[in-house]
Structure 1
Amino acid sequence: MGLDVTPLKQTNLGEQVARELRVLIVDGRLVSGVHLIEADLSRDFGVSRGPIRDALRKLEAEGLVETRQRGTFVVGLTEQDVAEMFSLRQTLESFALRLCADRDDLDWGAFEDPLARMRAAADVSDAATFALADLQFHALFYELSGHRRLNALWRDNEPTFSTLLTLTTARDVDLHPSAESHAEILEYVRAGDLERALRELEVHLEGASRRLREARREASVEAP
């Protein structure tokens, strides 16, 4: 297959393989119908077939690949799939914000650490660190919502959401506006101004969706 990836040498190899393949599928470099051959992937990643199988099982559970009689093939993400992922996240997160706003005992201080790390990452243009803090910030709304099943839905979709976030963050020339958008969402929710918080969240996700579509268009042009 000859994928342009870095051989893996650390623990949790199956998760690392899944993460690498997930990015290639989400950004469109691995398109629907591509046959993922274990032997080729094992060579490309520099690992045994065990972690490859673990990764493919994980991606199949996420709906990104499927196993047929002749092997495992990329299902991929269509433009409709991408639109559905963002609309799903907006629906889930809007509900999470409402639940958090209704809680009298919520520890708002928990948001300060990821927000501070986003601002610090923005100062040095570190998109990867920013994306990790960004994900933690949003995850807190689900964790602190008090809704166990809502949080479980987030966790089920978190690997794909995380990949979407990493890809869109990498396209931001200046990360400071995104950091302040998060600060505004938090400020509005804490102040009880839920409608402004939901509007800011909508703008936030619309921008991310647009950047991902741009990344996928560029990847489709570059793909052989």
Structure 2
Amino acid sequence: MTDSIPYLYPEKWLNKASAGERVASELRIRIIAGLIESGSKLSENQMATEFSVSRSPVREALKLLASENLIRLERMGAVVLELSEKEIQEIYDVRLLIETFVFERLVKMDTAELVKELSKTLEMMKIAIKYKDADDFSYEDVLFHETIIRFIDHSHIFMIWKNLKPTLESLILISMRMRFKEKYDDFDRIINNHELYIEAIRQKDRDLMVESLHKNFDDVQGSVEDLWRSQQIYSKGVESDD
């Protein structure tokens, strides 16, 4: 690495990552944070030197980022694409769509074990807040929602989540680091929202879930009811087909 830009992506999150995934994780968060501007050219040779790896992991990293539409591959490198506000909004739209779909499945399942796991994760989030650890909080926050999604055992929904996760994870990490510095008092509200999630799952209460979605997706509140209705219509259609 050069001295000009420190690592942004947490090293402790990379224990099982390949060299290419490590490079991709760092480049991704720099692009999303705006430290590498749209239009910038990424040279394979320069990246290999900066990250102290061969060109093969750099190529792996660039292929990953191209698949996420963050860069455009070119000969011996790539060009950084703009991550617009519209694209970020669309990422959260997809996340909201996934979570409304998941809850419609959860209301028909025994969720006692899920509630227990989510409660454990929430306690880890509280500890991270106590020690003002934005990285640990972000990790547990992503894990909280991934645990819910994984629980319904829907391979294609989970595949969509996995494709969405790298960019979403970086967005959350950047946001939480900022909040810990500038809006630390806001974490009481965030914890209350996650407690509401758990309670909605425990009670299988759609009204509570809609309320929690409103509070967690405050930028897309106008979409919540429409998405929720579409999931209920879809669910009824599946039942009638059965």
Normalising by structure 2, report the TM-score: 0.77
Distance in 1 (CA, whole Å) between partners of 2:119 and 2:32 is: 30
Aligned length: 207
Amino acid at match of 2:170: T
Deviation at 1:95, TM superposition (A): 1.2
- 131-140 vs 21-30, greater mean Cα deviation: 21-30
Aligned residue among 88, 94, 98 for 1:92: 98
The answer as to 2:208 corresponding to 1:196 is: yes
Aligned to 1:65: 71
Provide the rounded CA distance (Å) in 2 between the counterparts of 1:155 and 1:53. 21
Q: Mind listing any 5+ residue stretches in structure 1 that lack a counterpart?
A: 209-224
**Given residue 5 of structure 1, which amino acid in structure 2 is its aligned partner?**
P
Write the distance in 1 (CA, Å) between the matches of 2:74 and 2:18.
Answer: 26
Which has the greater radius of gyration? 2
Work out the percentage of aligned pairs sharing the same amino acid: 25
**Partner of residue 157, structure 1:** 164
Instruction: Report if aligned partners of 2:150, 2:158 keep a CA contact under 8 Å in 1.
Output: yes
CA deviations 1:41-94 (Å, max 9, x no partner) are: 122223222221111111112121111357411123111111111111111112
1:180 counterpart SS class: helix
Letter of the 1:76 partner, please give it: E
Deviations 1:89-118 (A, max 9, x none): 111112112212221355221212211100
Return closer, same or farther for 1:68/1:52 CA change in 2, 3 Å cut-off. Answer: closer
Greater shift after overlay, 159-168 or 66-75?
Answer: 66-75
Q: 1:137 matched to which residue of 2?
A: 144
Pick which of 61-70 and 74-83 moved more.
61-70
| Counterparts of 1:93 and 1:101, CA distance in 2 | 12
Q: Which residue of 1 aligns with 2:6?
A: 5
SS of equivalent to 1:67: strand
- Mark the runs of 5 or more structure 2 residues left unpaired by the alignment: 221-242
Q: Is the 8 A contact 2:106 2:204 kept in 1?
A: no
**1:118 is matched with which residue: 118, 125, 139?**
125
SS of residue matched to 2:132: coil
On the 8 A contact 1:18/1:58 being kept in 2, the answer is yes
Report how far residue 125 of structure 1 moved.
Answer: 1.0
Q: 1:4-29 deviations in whole A, cap 9, x for unaligned?
A: 13499986322121111111111222
Question: Cα distance 1:154–1:6, how it changes in 2: closer, same or farther (>3 A)?
Answer: closer
In angstroms, what is the RMSD of aligned CA positions?
A: 2.5
The one-letter code matched in structure 1 to 2:64 is K
Alignment of 1:182-193 (within 5 A): 182-193=194-205
- Superposed CA deviations along residues 164-190 of structure 1, whole A, max 9, x for unmatched, are 111111122323332221111111221
Query: SS of the counterpart of 1:29?
Result: coil
* Cα distance in structure 1, aligned partners of 2:219 and 2:175: 9
User: C-alpha distance in 1, partners of 2:172/2:66?
Assistant: 21
Is 1:20–2:26 an aligned residue pair?
A: yes
C-alpha distance in 1, partners of 2:75/2:23?
Answer: 23
Q: Deviations over 1:116-175 (max 9, x none)?
A: 100111111111001111111000111012322111111121111111111111122323
Which segment drifts farther, 176-185 or 130-139? 176-185
In structure 1, what residue type is equivalent to 2:23? V
Q: With CA pairs under 8 Å and 6+ residues apart, which has the higher RCO, 1 or 2?
A: 1
User: In 2, distance between residues paired with 1:133 and 1:27?
Assistant: 21
